[in-house]
Chain A
C-alpha cells in the first residue's frame, strides 16, 4: 500500500484501514497510524464486575441444563447516547428494566455542559501558587488557585467564564484541559508566579518536574502531638517545619505534658499559641511547603540561659521527606550530625503515616436548564423529584453529590466513570453523561415520555453499538438505591 493504511490483524478479514477510518467490523480503526479499538455505546454490566465475560455460554466441559437465567445486571450509561435538540424531544434512551419487581426507568442522555468545570485536589504541601492566581494551560487562562484544604492545594478550573467569556483560544484551551482531566489524561498546568504542575486524576502530582510521593501526616503542630511520646527521652528538641504551622516540641502542649524541659530555641516567624509558629519562611516547594533548603535558617540564636552544649535537635518536615539532626557545640551553635538509628525510626514513622499523594478530579456541572426537558415535559418536576430522592442521578454510572439549592448541580469523581466518558462540542462545552433513574410510576407522575420507554432488552440486543464495561466496584449499582424505595 502506497498510502498510510495499516493492516488490521484482529481477524482473518485483514482489512487495510486508512487513517481516521475503521475496518469492516467498526471495532478497530486506524488512529494516527495505530490500530485502536473503538468504544461504542457503553453498557455497564454487573456480570463483568464478577470477573465474567458477560454470561458464559456452553463451557466446553459442562452440559447446559437448559435453564434460561434472567439477570438484572445491565445498566445503560449515557456515554455515547448522543443528545437531542430542540430540548422538547425525548432523551435518546429511556430504558425500562425490572428491579426487585418494580419497573424502573433510566433516562439516558449526554448533556452539553457550558456551566461546568472541575475541582482539582492536589495532595501536596508544596506551594503551587497564591490564592486567586491564574492557572494556565497552553498559555491560556483556564481557572485559578482556590482555598487550600487539608494537606492539599485546590484548583478550580473551567466554568462558563473561561469556556465562553474569553477569547476563542481561551475557550478551546479550557475545554481541552477539562476534557483531558475528565477522561483521566495528564494535563500540564502553569500557575502565574507559581509552579508548573502535571495533573492527572488518580495519580501523583508532578510539581516542577518532581513527582510528589506523600501527603503530609498533619500540620507541624499536629505532627508534634502525634509523635511527642516517641521522641520523648530520645531527643531534646524537635521542630516540625511546616509552611502553615511549624511545631516545636518543648513549647508544645504535648511536650509540656510529658515534662520536656525548655531548650532556649528561638523560632523565626509569628508565634500563634505555645509551640505553634506561622510564617517561619516563605511558601515554596521545599521543606514542609516552605522555600528553605537549610532548616537552620528558620532558627534564631539559642538562649544561653536555657540551652546547653550537647543539646540534641531534630528538624523534620511534615512528610518526613526532609530531616536533619544537630547537636549544639560549646558556643551553642548547632552542628549537623548523622541521624541516630533510634530517631530514624520516628522519621520513617512520619513517612509511613503519610498517605500517597494524589490528584483527584471532580467534575461539576449543572443540569438545571433545558436538559431536563429531554426527561419530562415538566422540567421542574424532575428537579423536585431529585430533591425528594425519588430520582437518582448518576454520571456515567458513578454516584454524584447534588449541591443543595436550585437546579441539578452535581459533582462526580471522574475516576469512577468508564474510560473516555466525556466528549466535547466546539461551542466549546463538555459533553458529559448523565442518567436519571426512577420508578416507572414516578416517571409517569412527573410527566415522562412514557411512549418512548424501551425495555432494557431492546438496548442490550442492539449489541453492535453497545459496549459493555465492568461496573466500577466502588460505585453503588445505579439501579439499587435506597433512595428509590424511600417515599415522601
Chain B
C-alpha cells in the first residue's frame, strides 16, 4: 500500500462526512471516519430518492453519537441498567448481550452491523422499497419485501477480493443481516479464521456472532500463529492486552479441520439457541458450514494469489 502525506487540515475544514452517489447513479456511498458504506435501494424512483434522503439525514450524526458513547462501548457489557442513550449504541449492546456471560465481548463487536441496521431502518421507515441493502464494510443489513431475494457473494481475503462462495437469501428466509469477521479484516480477531460469514435476522446480531465464531476458530499455542497484544497495535483497542492474530502460517489439513471444528461447534450452538441462522467458516481455502445449508453457500473458488512475473 502506498503512503502519501495527508491533507488533513483541508479535509477537516470541509464537511467531514462524504455523501455521494456513485457514478453508476444507483449506489449511495456514505463515509465518515471509519464508517464506510455503500447502499442501494430498489423501487419506484421517487421512493428510492426518498430513501436516500432519509439515509443521508440519519447518517450525518451517527459517528458523533457513537463517539459520545465510545468509552462505554469499549467495555465488556454486563448490567442492563447501564445501557447507553444512542440508538446505534443500544443496537450494539443488545447484539452482544447474549454473549456477555460466556465470552469476552464489547459492544464494539457489533458496531458495523448496528450502523448498517440503523441506516436501513431509516430508509425503510421513510419509503416503500421492494429491496434495499446497506453494506458497511461487508457487514450488511437488508430489506426484502415479498418474493424478493438477494444473491450475496462471500469474500475471504478483503485484501484480495474474490468470491469463495455465494448464497441466495429470499424474503421467506427471515435473514436480514449478514456479517463477516476474520483476522484479515479491519478489526482484530482472537482467532485464525480467514473469514466467518454469518446469516442472522439482524445485521448487528450477525456482526457480533461472526466475531464470536471467528474467535473460536483457533489452535491456541500453535507455532505458525503470530499473536500480539491488541494494545501493542492499537493503544485504545477495546481488546486491551488480549492476543490478536497477526499472521497465520501454512497449516496441515488436520490442523485446519481441528481449528474449523472448534468454530463450527460454536456456530452450531448459536444456531441451536436461535441467535443466528447459518454460518460459513473459511480457513486457508477450506470452508465449513453450520446451520441451514444452501448448496451455493459452500461452493468455493480457488484464490491462491501471489505474484505475476513479467
Contacts and interface: CB of A to CB of B under 8 A. Distances in A.
A31 B3 contact: yes
B137 interface: yes
A74 B25 CA distance: 12
B254 interface: no
Given A15-B236, A92-B160, A24 B34 contact: yes
A465 B6 contact: no
A18 B232 contact: yes
Given A37-B8, A56-B20, A66-B46, A423 B307 contact: no
Contact of B24 (A24, A58, A82, A460): A460
A457 B23 CA distance: 9
A96 to B, nearest CB: 13
A212 to B, nearest CB: 27
Contacts of A36: 3-6
B13 interface: no
Nearest to A113: B310
A130 B307 CA distance: 39
A18 B233 CA distance: 6
A257 interface: no
Contacts of B23: 45, 47, 54-55, 70-74, 460
A461 B22 contact: yes
Contacts of B32: 11
Interface of A: prevailing SS? loop
Given A18-B234, A36-B6, A420-B2, A57 B21 contact: yes
A1 B231 CA distance: 12
B306 A57 contact: no
A87 B309 contact: yes
B1 A39 contact: yes
B67 to A, nearest CB: 4
Contacts of A383: none
Interface of A: 1, 3, 5, 9-18, 21, 23-29, 31, 34-40, 45, 47, 53-58, 64, 66-74, 79-80, 82-87, 89, 91-92, 109-116, 183, 365-371, 373-374, 419-421, 423, 425, 456-457, 460-465
Interface of B: 1-8, 11-12, 16, 18-29, 31-34, 36, 38, 45-46, 48-49, 52-53, 56, 63-64, 67, 70, 135, 137, 158-162, 186, 232-236, 304-310
20 contacts: A1-B235, A10-B8, A11-B32, A24-B234, A27-B34, A39-B1, A54-B23, A70-B23, A85-B306, A111-B309, A112-B310, A183-B2, A365-B310, A368-B310, A370-B310, A420-B4, A425-B307, A460-B24, A460-B27, A462-B161
Given A24-B234, A55-B25, A72-B23, 10 more contacts: A9-B12, A18-B234, A27-B34, A47-B23, A56-B20, A57-B19, A85-B308, A85-B309, A374-B308, A461-B135
